[in-house]
Amino acid sequence: MTLQIKKRLFLLRHAMACSALSSGDKMRALTPKGKEDAKALGNYMISNGFIPDIVLCSPARRTHETLECLQSSLELSNICTPNILYSGSAKDYLHEIRKCDDENQNILIIAHNPGIYELIMLLTAQGSDSLMQRITEGYPPASLSVIECVCDKWEDIKSAENMIVTLVNPMDYNSAPRPTRWM
């Protein structure tokens, strides 16, 4: 059976952040490496045609800084910051997706673990064996998954009926080139 893809989700865990501050977890900033990774990810998204119509971004500082770095490559203007993306569960994230306007074919969510990882596991039941294996190995900062969805309307998106087609992290799009020959 061939799936008829209607919509796409880009699920992004924020880039690497500093350790907890006395001002609290919500105010944690990105590290210099985190900023570098997020900028490289923006370039990767452009070069692969991963252009969101709308962005749902957690209100935490580190997610907003990740978004700002992405914006150096992507022109993102339709941005919402639901509070539930800061501390919510995968089901809360799914609820936010279901509320999106159907004219948005591609949604980018920038949020936190474990919620973002659990959302991927909740939504996907299909994908190449290597991607399905790789997703079980963890979801480091600045990881991006692309999920193709079979729903016509976001309110109809269902668990375990969608396919993960891309999974990348900074080692894939922002690492030093590997030597071709060892000296």
The tens digit of pLDDT for each residue in 148-168 reads: 998 999 999 999 999 999 999
CATH of residue 141's domain is 3.40.50.1240
Judge whether 102 and 54 are in contact, CB under 8 Å.
no
The CA-CA-CA angle for residues 43, 49, 112, to 5°, reads: 65
Q: What is the pLDDT of residues 68-85, one digit of tens each?
A: 999 988 988 899 999 999
- Alpha carbon of 129 to those of 8, 63, 132: distances in Å? 20, 30, 5
Judge whether 81 and 54 are in contact, CB under 8 Å.
no
Max distance between CA atoms of the chain, in angstroms, equals 56
Range of the domain at 36: 7-14+29-172
Count of domains observed in the chain:
1
Question: In the prediction, which pLDDT does 179 show?
Answer: 61
Q: What is the pLDDT of residues 105-139, one digit of tens each?
A: 999 999 999 999 999 999 998 777 888 888 888 89
Judge whether 10 and 109 are in contact, CB under 8 Å.
yes
Judge whether 111 and 58 are in contact, CB under 8 Å.
yes
Q: Is the residue at 177 inside a domain?
A: no
Q: Is the residue at 53 inside a domain?
A: yes
Q: Is the residue at 68 inside a domain?
A: yes
Question: In the prediction, which pLDDT does 1 show?
Answer: 43
pTM of the model: 0.92
